[in-house]
Amino acid sequence: MSAPHIPNSFRYSIDLLNQFSLAAIENARELIEEAELLFEHRHFSRAYFISVVAIEEIGKSFLAFEALGRNLGDSAVTAKLRNSFESHSAKINSAFQASIISHGDLRNELEGIVNLIITLKHGREPSMYTDINYSALTVNCPKEMVREVAAKDCIQLAKHCYFKTREHQQKEIPSSRTSNQDAFFGMKSNKVNSLFDNADFWWFYISNMEAGDSDISNSIANYQRDFLNKGKIFKEE
- Provide Rg for the chain, Cα atoms: 21
CA–CA dist 155, 87 (Å, integer):
21
pLDDT in tens, 188-236: 888 888 889 999 999 999 999 999 998 999 999 999 999 999 999 998 6
Percent of the chain with pLDDT over 90: 64
Tell me if 98 sits within 8 A of 62, measured CB to CB: yes
Which residue did the predictor score with more confidence, 8 or 33?
33
Whether the model pTM is above 0.85: no
Q: Would you state the pLDDT for residue 131?
A: 82
Please check the confidence at residue 109 and state whether its pLDDT lies above 90.
no
Which residue did the predictor score with more confidence, 118 or 49?
49
Q: What distance lies between CA 9 and its chain's CA centroid?
A: 25
Q: Which sign does the torsion angle of CA 132, 133, 136, 138 carry?
A: negative
Domains of the chain: 14-175 (1.20.120.330), 187-237 (no CATH)
Residues facing 131 on adjacent strands: 140
Which residue did the predictor score with more confidence, 193 or 165?
165
- Which pLDDT band holds residue 141 (cuts at 50, 70, 90)? confident
- The secondary structure of the chain in percent helix, strand, coil, rounded to multiples of 5, reads 70, 5, 25
Secondary structure of residue 77 in the 3-state scheme: helix
Tell me if 184 sits within 8 A of 75, measured CB to CB: no
Which residue, among 6, 93, 102, 25, has the nearest Cα to 64 in the 3D structure?
Answer: 25
CA–CA dist 35, 42 (Å, integer):
10
